[in-house]
Amino acid sequence: MAWIQIIGRRDADPTLAAVYDKMATRPMPAAYRPAHGDAPGIIRAHSLDPALMPLVFAGMSASLVEGGAMAWAQRELVNAATSRLNQCLY
């Protein structure tokens, strides 16, 4: 399994902290908000490039907005199947 260095909120510089704050305002199911209070793992996985993070998630969100092409359950199915094919833990 690949290992990606991540930077959590506690260790974030001001630029990354601002991106985390902005990402926290995005709509997402409660199950995606971790109890530990940090950003979800998929968001922290992009922490090494704070400028790119909002762009990546904006593209992904285009299919998830109300009335979008995919429901949350469908998105999860695609993500899980892709992770399985790539032999990575989702």
* pLDDT tens series, the chain, 90 aa: 557 888 999 999 999 999 999 988 887 778 778 888 898 888 898 899 999 888 887 766 655 555 667 777 887 888 788 888 888 765
4 within some domain: no
- The domain tally of the chain equals 1
Q: Tell me which amino acid residue 1 is.
A: M
25 within some domain: yes
19 within some domain: yes
83 within some domain: no
78 within some domain: no
- Give the pLDDT score at 66: 56
77 within some domain: no
41 within some domain: yes
Range of the domain at 40: 9-63
Q: Please enumerate, as own/partner, the contacts of 32-38 that have beta carbons within 8 Å and a separation of 24 or more.
A: 37/9, 38/8, 38/9, 38/10
